[in-house]
A and B are shown apart, each in its own frame.
Chain A
Amino acid sequence: NAGVTQTPKFQVLKTGQSMTLQCAQDMNHNSMYWYRQDPGMGLRLIYYSASEGTTDKGEVPNGYNVSRLNKREFSLRLESAAPSQTSVYFCASSERWDYEQYFGPGTRLTVT
């Protein structure tokens, strides 16, 4: 049982490049989330999907888009990467939107 998986684990982008971060969960959870973690800032919610077919903005959505591809998969896209998006990105899932969230191992992104 893998839980929440994320790819890639590391990525370096140049300013202006685009990329998609992938996330998948095998726990049959309804809700999925994307967070970014910066030093001294804790975890901040970028976007979430309360259930398949719905997505909503979190605290820091600017510069990102998401797709809930199916119940298992939730991707995060950076259309034009900026140095301010250098961060560690975590995907999480929960059975329902108000239940405990379980996190993936993270993607470490550097934008130069």
Chain B
Amino acid sequence: GQQLNQSPQSMFIQEGEDVSMNCTSSSIFNTWLWYKQDPGEGPVLLIALYKAGELTSNGRLTAQFGITRKDSFLNISASIPSDVGIYFCAGSLTGTASKLTFGTGTRLQVTL
């Protein structure tokens, strides 16, 4: 099945640094979602994007829906230790039956 390419696969950053990650697809999507998963927990929705070019913020998180509809970006500003986890992107194409396609995740570790 199709998967989205997320990069980087993992990253180590220092507390206070800004973080950028992205997700690319060979197919276009109408919806891009970003989730965070903590160890032993289910994914938690962070941001939803519904329009090409859209830029949406949720606290220190900002995500963008790429103009080509084939990519999306997530930025975290001034990282803190609780930002540690795995970040997943997911895309869907409205009109096809109910399928979210997930990326393989970016593992973020924050050092003090």
Contact = CB atoms under 8 A, between A and B. Distances in A.
Interface in A82-105: 90, 92, 97-98, 100-105
A12 interface: no
A56 interface: yes
B25 to A, nearest CB: 13
B73 to A, nearest CB: 18
Given A102-B45, A104-B42, A48 B98 contact: yes
Interface residues of A, number: 26
Interface residues of B, number: 26
B3 A42 contact: yes
B98 A50 contact: yes
Given A97-B97, A98-B92, A90 B42 contact: yes
A102 B97 CA distance: 17
Nearest to B96: A98
Nearest to A51: B98
A43 B37 CA distance: 11
Contacts of A2: none
B98 A103 contact: no
A97 B98 contact: yes
Contacts of B44: 103
Contact of A42 (B33, B92, B97, B103): B103
A41 B1 CA distance: 10
Interface of A: 4, 31, 33, 40-45, 48, 50, 56, 58-60, 90, 92, 97-98, 100-106
11 contacts: A4-B42, A41-B3, A42-B3, A42-B88, A42-B104, A48-B98, A58-B99, A90-B43, A103-B35, A103-B42, A106-B42
Given A41-B104, A90-B42, A106-B40, 11 more contacts: A42-B103, A43-B90, A58-B99, A90-B43, A92-B42, A97-B97, A98-B92, A98-B94, A100-B33, A101-B90, A103-B43
